[in-house]
Structure 1
Amino acid sequence: MAALLSLQAVSKRYGAVQANAGIDLAVDPGSIHAILGENGAGKSTLMKLIYGVETPDAGTILWKGQPVNLASPAEARALGIGMVFQHFSLFETLSVVQNIALIVPGKQADLARRIRDLGAEFGLEVDPAAMVHALSVGERQRVEIIRCLLLNPELLILDEPTSVLPPQSVAKLFDTLRALQARGMAILFISHKLEEIKELCDTATILRAGQVTGRVDPRGHSAKDLATLMIGRAMPPPLPATAQEPGEARLELAGLSYRNDDPFGVSLRDVSLRVRSGEIVGIAGISGNGQQELAALISGEITAQGDGIRMMGHGVGGLGVAARRRLGFAFVPEERLGRGAVPEMSLADNALLTAHRAGLVARGFIRRAPERAFTGAIIARYDVRTPGPAAEAAALSGGNLQKFIMGREMMLDPKLLLVSQPTWGVDIGAATEIRQRLIAMRNAGAAILVISEELEELFQICDRLHVLHKGHLSPSLPVAETNAEAVGAYMIGSAA
């Protein structure tokens, strides 16, 4: 059977960076084909070449055996190629249905009905009338997936499609993808969840440093074998997350409520939790159940009157972000570009944004040498794949930017760290490193609150869990005394 899509010796360079070098790839009709590689291995660039966002410097792309020159995503969609990007391509000032109508033909009323139907079928519920700026990262990814499916593509490229789904919906999505496969659709599947790739995919192409280093049937390999093939070295042994006796309270929420005036937002009701030194507390939940609002209240982006929020023993409800950071608080938001980092600024200047108190500013003047040294230390310690401190944040892959932002906050040695989606889109090697550093911080006495949609991650690193559902927080669930099914029941509101 002729390949649906073929790449022959395709290369792409950005300045001094060789993103792809002589890539050969063949995707067969009806195949679910995984692309594996570390952050910075060239996966995103390769997908952009296939989708017409970028054009190759050399090599040939063939569609159904015929050479094609994909000069734009519109040309790729016209052929039958759809893609969901890791960084989304939605207009924030338009509604969900208006965004979809820009690409998918039809009246908005009909599109709204189809959006609801697809959402119910795939477990990707989203309000067609909701404004995109009011959606969480997870809800925005749902919009991207639905938009692609409405175009009935022959090749669907999915980048981390399950990172925003509850456990109960992943199996349903996989059933849908298998049904699409049975009808002849090819799927390019990018995921850092190796067990998912083993379960779903029939072929895996492995990239390392911009080159193809192997092609295997993942069903015949263990997750550990796949990880070793992907990163080119053995995985480090996990750092034991042995429970220890926690110390004083570093974060206390007591009956915290928040009324969200945004009609598409989520209000919080009587939220209470405590995070003490020497422990990691996790917040699980389906995206869009109040995680954004809770993080904004804790970080100081939204202020709350009263004594419902205390940090390091101080009432901070009315304090802003800077005042909370002076108490020893640090924060990693879920949205990397725009909130975690300024895309057009260099990594060095992005480091300055939250680390200026670490000796990078004196008498109101930036100390460039310490700024570069601090940034260089982040790059080295957290294995950020980048030419150096002068590189723009927007030039990094999603996973490398996440490593940089995590490193920037962790190097401040905070007393209290709030991390939202710490390893979203990060490869298994980097994710393991980030989780081990969080455990090491906890063992050194830090108090850490982790908001994550990765249940496996929360069970690996947390001492206790809460679940956020429709703005209400569940009781504390000791990790050693619960399981994924019980947490999942809280996530969908069916727990007793």
Structure 2
Amino acid sequence: MEFEQENKEPFRLVLENISKSYPLIKANNAISLQVKPGEIHAILGENGAGKSTLMKILYGVIKPDEGSILWEGQKVEINNPAFARKLGIGMIFQHFALFESLTVLENIWLSMDEKYSLKQLEEEVLKTSAYYGLPINPKRMLHSMSVGERQRVEIVRCLLQKPKLLIMDEPTSVLTPQAVQILFKTIRQLASEGCSILYISHKLDEIRQLCDSATVLRSGKVTGYANPKNETAKTLATLMIGSELPIIQQQPAEIGKPMLEVLGLNLKTSDPFGTELKDICLKVRAGEIVGIAGISGNGQKELIQALSGESLIADTQTIYMNDAPVGKLSPAKRRELGLCFVPEDRLGRGAVPNLSLAENALLTGYSEGMVRNGWIHQPTINKFAEKIIEQFNVICGGKNVSASSLSGGNLQKFIVGREISLKPKIMLVAQPTWGVDVGASMVIRQSLLNLRQQGVAILVISEELEELMMISDQLTVIANGKLSSLIPTNQTSIEELGLMMSGDATIQVP
């Protein structure tokens, strides 16, 4: 495909017939697109459509099998990220490229092609992060940070490079509505100064609000181009998935007894940058979904660890599951009481990257007949994994592929499907649809609602406020290690929750 532009200024970027194949899948199939200077261009598609592969080709992480890249009118071969950055291409990855054993400042310093002294760089980090409304502590250890805080590091690190083209993969997934608008202001300012933006997001209202143009991918191919401002979220979703968007079916559930109770939980953290939990009180009943909203780093990680059993509690009378005190019980013992758990960090905690999907099914599903008389029963494991792949439409090369080979959204579908298939009595879910496309998000949300109908007590911790409003019966906000009182979902709004999360409104609600 050849592109022509009316004025003499060349396109910032032209991709022509880019293809990339793997043993079991053709990730990109003759993809072509064009991006002008100062244009905010969306890349739309389901999980597994080929978006991440295409962006990694552009950033020099992987090489295409076929096709060409034109940068400012000149054909280039981008063999590595260093060359991409030299051209002026920056990328914020959905899965972070950070070293957990280093500080924020050290992580950023390692990525800078123009070397600063650490003192100079610290000043730049503080100034840049404050300017963009994404405050970070340069001296903080990366391993102590939540997913949302790590994303801030990625964004600031990339902006320090002053890119001509910025690739943003799900940049608002852990931001409040107010913070999203601040980021959008920054993006528009960058675009007005001539920086091109390639924007990947499953939040279609964001695409419509922000982007000038869009390329739609499906199964590795370009299936259309659109001006998002002339489309509705519904028509964009139809372009992405090739059919009507699933509609959430929510019916009243019969509320049962409390299945999860937290009674005055106080928890200090050994992490000097962690958040102390203060007098946490919470009750989740059978047949009920309780949602917890909050900006990353306000105690979500510590609360999840206390509930899942990763952090043990000395006071055994603080946390109850199914009427049993569990403060000193291990994660395995809590699972025996009916707890299932979807962590926010899918690679490393939700799944072992180098193990197959079948082996990852065994990690938490061992009680489902997968181990018999001390022996692993492979046929049962295979059947269980295949059932998850089919029911949750996990796009992959089969049960034997590694977890790391899946796109983020497809791995999330597999992990959520695994835990749901274990027939929980209590379900703890952190960031259930982070980085998941709109169609798959609806499937996951409907699955949680179906669990609720079956009498399961579900606690959802999410920064997707629309998601919480859609599925929760009651909501609370966590800020500075404290929980607000519960409020029925129909008595609040996304804007109010966003203000509470950011500390611009009182935490306690009547």
1:310 alignment partner, one of 300, 317, 320: 320
CA distances 1:191-221 after superposition (whole Å, capped 9, x unpaired): 0000000000000000000000101101001
Q: Report the equivalent of 1:275.
A: 284
Distance 2:123 2:30 in 1: 44
Contact 1:19–1:210 (CA under 8 A) maintained in structure 2: yes
Q: What letter matches 1:121 in structure 2?
A: Y
Q: What letter matches 2:36 in structure 1?
A: D
1:101 alignment partner, one of 94, 109, 113: 109
Q: Report the equivalent of 1:52.
A: 60
Distance 2:483 2:353 in 1: 34
Following superposition, the deviation at residue 237 of structure 1 comes to 2.0
Q: Report the equivalent of 2:308.
A: 299
Q: Report the equivalent of 1:438.
A: 448
Contact 2:253–2:452 (CA under 8 A) maintained in structure 1: no
Secondary structure of the 2:259 match is strand
Q: Report the equivalent of 1:465.
A: 475
Confirm whether residue 135 of structure 1 aligns to residue 145 of structure 2: yes
Q: Report the equivalent of 1:61.
A: 69
Contact 1:122–1:169 (CA under 8 A) maintained in structure 2: no
1:190 alignment partner, one of 178, 200, 214: 200
Following superposition, the deviation at residue 245 of structure 1 comes to 4.4
Matches within 5 A, 1:105-254: 105-240=115-250, 242-254=251-263
Distance 2:374 2:35 in 1: 56
Structure 2: gaps (5+ residues): 1-8
Q: What letter matches 2:167 in structure 1?
A: I
1:71 alignment partner, one of 79, 100, 119: 79
Confirm whether residue 347 of structure 1 aligns to residue 354 of structure 2: no
Q: Report the equivalent of 1:15.
A: 23
CA distances 1:266-302 after superposition (whole Å, capped 9, x unpaired): 1100000000000000010001111011001000011
Q: Report the equivalent of 1:452.
A: 462
2:91 alignment partner, one of 46, 65, 83: 83
Q: Report the equivalent of 2:12.
A: 4
Distance 2:333 2:24 in 1: 41
Q: What letter matches 1:222 in structure 2?
A: T
Q: Report the equivalent of 1:260.
A: 269
Q: What letter matches 1:180 in structure 2?
A: L
Contact 2:169–2:199 (CA under 8 A) maintained in structure 1: yes
CA distances 1:296-322 after superposition (whole Å, capped 9, x unpaired): 100001110111100000000000000
Contact 1:333–1:420 (CA under 8 A) maintained in structure 2: yes
Give me the TM-score of the superposition, normalised by structure 2.
0.96
Secondary structure of the 1:119 match is helix
Following superposition, the deviation at residue 485 of structure 1 comes to 2.2
Distance 2:441 2:367 in 1: 28
Following superposition, the deviation at residue 243 of structure 1 comes to 4.1
Structure 1: gaps (5+ residues): none
Distance 2:173 2:401 in 1: 28
Distance 1:494 1:45 in 2: 40
Secondary structure of the 2:349 match is helix
Matches within 5 A, 1:400-411: 400-411=410-421
Following superposition, the deviation at residue 260 of structure 1 comes to 0.7
Q: What letter matches 1:311 in structure 2?
A: M
Contact 2:13–2:71 (CA under 8 A) maintained in structure 1: yes
Contact 2:253–2:455 (CA under 8 A) maintained in structure 1: no
Aligned residues with identical type, % of pairs? 54
Distance 1:158 1:422 in 2: 21
Q: What letter matches 2:37 in structure 1?
A: P
- Number of residue pairs aligned between Structure 1 and Structure 2: 495
Distance 1:464 1:243 in 2: 13
Distance 1:464 1:197 in 2: 29
CA distances 1:103-140 after superposition (whole Å, capped 9, x unpaired): 22212122222212222222211110001011111111
Distance 1:487 1:335 in 2: 24
CA distances 1:40-79 after superposition (whole Å, capped 9, x unpaired): 0000000000000000001111111111111110010010
Greater shift in the superposed pair: 110-119 or 387-396: 110-119
After the TM superposition, which segments of 4 or more aligned residues of structure 1 sit over 3 Å from their partners? 242-245
Secondary structure of the 2:167 match is strand
Distance 2:418 2:26 in 1: 26
Contact 2:392–2:413 (CA under 8 A) maintained in structure 1: yes
Q: Report the equivalent of 1:388.
A: 398
Q: Report the equivalent of 2:42.
A: 34
Secondary structure of the 1:153 match is coil
Greater shift in the superposed pair: 163-172 or 75-84: 163-172
Contact 1:243–1:463 (CA under 8 A) maintained in structure 2: no
CA distances 1:393-433 after superposition (whole Å, capped 9, x unpaired): 00000000000000000001100000000000000000001
Distance 2:467 2:394 in 1: 21
CA distances 1:236-281 after superposition (whole Å, capped 9, x unpaired): 22212x4444111110000001101211111100000000000000
Contact 2:254–2:453 (CA under 8 A) maintained in structure 1: no
Q: What letter matches 2:466 in structure 1?
A: E
Give me the TM-score of the superposition, normalised by structure 1.
0.99
Distance 2:301 2:118 in 1: 28
Contact 1:474–1:490 (CA under 8 A) maintained in structure 2: no
Following superposition, the deviation at residue 364 of structure 1 comes to 1.0
Secondary structure of the 1:213 match is strand
Contact 1:203–1:215 (CA under 8 A) maintained in structure 2: yes
Distance 2:270 2:222 in 1: 50
CA distances 1:146-199 after superposition (whole Å, capped 9, x unpaired): 000000000000000001111111111101110110000000000000000000
Contact 2:39–2:195 (CA under 8 A) maintained in structure 1: yes
Secondary structure of the 2:96 match is coil
Distance 1:478 1:119 in 2: 35
RMSD, aligned CA: 0.9
